[in-house]
Structure 1
Amino acid sequence: MTALRCLSVAGLTAFYGASQVLFGIDLNVGEGQCMALLGRNGAGKSTTMKAIAGIIPSTATKMDLHGKNINGIPSYRIARAGLGFVPEDRQVFPEHSVEDNLTLAEKAGAQNRRDWTLQRVYDAFPLLVPLRTRLAGQLSGGEQQMLVIGRALMGNPTMLLLDEPSEGLAPVIVQQIAVQIKALRKAGTTILLAEQNMHFCLNVATHVAVIDKGKIVYADSVEGLRNNDDIKRRYLSV
């Protein structure tokens, strides 16, 4: 059974100054799926995420979220439409407590939904509970990653963009992040995940898209990629 479309992107292009970085990206993410956007460093993963979130200027022939056009509108309106974005550099408010970081982001989602509350975020990330009064700048990298995911969820998004969530983290923390991502997916959250770590993605994602030099060169289920040694060798090996 084909999943209903949550995000549909066609012909997405983006530049940094005079340098073109994305060359007509096409992506389709079904509701409830976790799609991994895989590629080597510099392939265009983060640029794709920022362009979809409206963080950087871009053009597209189509960019729909739940069938509503978000192409070319400001990032705050894209967030209000239901898109949550977790950047690769985490960007916590370092001089504010964990709980302040969470409550600062609290808002109703699309159609005034409030499925994610402070308590639900603490239930999803129990390691944050004893840290609720600690300054966010004093947290470890893994703790900050959990915090920024929780902070994005406080905005009650219908879809979550996670940019390099495993980057720079110890293997044991990466495993904990993987558990939380799978739990979010099981709870019905649609996720687009940009990563270099193929093995991490094969563990958490349902679908994959491989990006190389600003173009999508392959898209399939996780099982399809797992069995495709040629694609892994050509585009994902270090």
Structure 2
Amino acid sequence: MSGDTILEVRDIDVFYGSSQIIFGASFTIEKGQCMALLGRNGAGKSTTFKAIAGLAPPRSGEVILGNRPVQNLKPHNIARMGIGYVPEDRQVFPEHSVVDNLIVGAKSGVNGDTYWTLERIFEVFPLLADLRDRAAGKLSGGEQQLLSIARTLMGNPEVLLLDEPSEGLAPIIVAQIGDLIRQLQSMGATILLAEQNLYFCLSVATHATVIDNGHVVYCDSIDALRDNEDIKKRYLAV
């Protein structure tokens, strides 16, 4: 790993039972990057995220966070080492308030960092400040997505995994999520973003990895992908 590389996925194979889903996938993310993991529905994006987070451990290959392999660790230990995972189905605690959901996610970072506090969350997410006492189950889909991201940030992660953050949301909310991702980048966050929405990724990501049928088929800057009509047509066209 280079000095700036914070997450490296090396030749991972991932199975669900006897069915192989990911085939020798490899890519690296450097500190401060926003890497878009792009692919059609069913390409293997969410499974790759689960492999990194320890929810679907690779059968072979390595996941290296910082300089330490983590592929054999339990999910809670991987989280403590700095992986913050926002699943596509959000998984808020519906009966608990926004504040309670945020407190549940609170922990210091791997180096004892406490950059993300309730006060900072409410500065960056003013909508959640206004909804702090509302039950999470009574929030809109977009508000729940914001809460899920904010709750994960409360764990002060080294790398933030966002799984399909724009899925099923109204365009105005998608635009707000895009603004948030750009703001987090400006604050130094490192983000891995799984998406089908190419146009959304072109507006927020710095780099792109394309996955197709469980195989990584392309890795480059987002500007290079923008100009690569062949890759976009072959793997990303709906």
TM-score, reference length from structure 2: 0.98
User: Do the aligned partners of 1:59 and 1:71 also contact (CA within 8 Å) in 2?
Assistant: no
**1:202 corresponding residue in structure 2:** 202
1: distance between equivalents of 2:160 and 2:168?
21
Give the AA of the match of 2:117.
T
2: distance between equivalents of 1:198 and 1:60?
30
The within-5 A match list for 1:49-198 is 49-198=49-198
- Which runs of 4 or more aligned residues in structure 1 lie more than 6 Å from their structure 2 counterparts after TM superposition? none
2: distance between equivalents of 1:3 and 1:35?
18
2: distance between equivalents of 1:232 and 1:223?
12
2: distance between equivalents of 1:27 and 1:73?
20
Give the AA of the match of 1:51.
A
User: Do the aligned partners of 1:10 and 1:60 also contact (CA within 8 Å) in 2?
Assistant: no
Shift of 1:55: 1.1
Give the secondary-structure state (helix, strand or coil) at the position aligned to 1:25. strand
Shift of 1:18: 1.4
**1:11 corresponding residue in structure 2:** 11
- Consecutive unaligned residues of structure 2, counting only runs of 5 or more, are none
Give the secondary-structure state (helix, strand or coil) at the position aligned to 2:111. helix
Give deviations 1:28-85, integer Å, cap 9, x for gaps: 0011000000000000000000110001232342211111221211111111111100
Report the count of equivalent residues: 237
Shift of 1:108: 0.8
Aligned identity (percent) is 57
Give the AA of the match of 2:172.
V
1: distance between equivalents of 2:171 and 2:200?
10
1: distance between equivalents of 2:59 and 2:159?
21
Give the AA of the match of 2:127.
L
Query: For the structure 1 residues 233 and 19, does the alpha-carbon distance in structure 2 shift closer, same or farther, using more than 3 Å as the test?
Result: same
2: distance between equivalents of 1:235 and 1:81?
33
2: distance between equivalents of 1:231 and 1:86?
27
Give the AA of the match of 1:184.
L
Task: Please say if 1:31 is aligned against 2:31.
Answer: yes
Give the AA of the match of 1:135.
A
User: Do the aligned partners of 1:59 and 1:72 also contact (CA within 8 Å) in 2?
Assistant: no
2: distance between equivalents of 1:60 and 1:192?
21
User: Do the aligned partners of 2:51 and 2:71 also contact (CA within 8 Å) in 1?
Assistant: no
Give the AA of the match of 1:118.
L
Give the AA of the match of 1:188.
G
User: Do the aligned partners of 1:35 and 1:193 also contact (CA within 8 Å) in 2?
Assistant: yes
TM-score, reference length from structure 1: 0.98
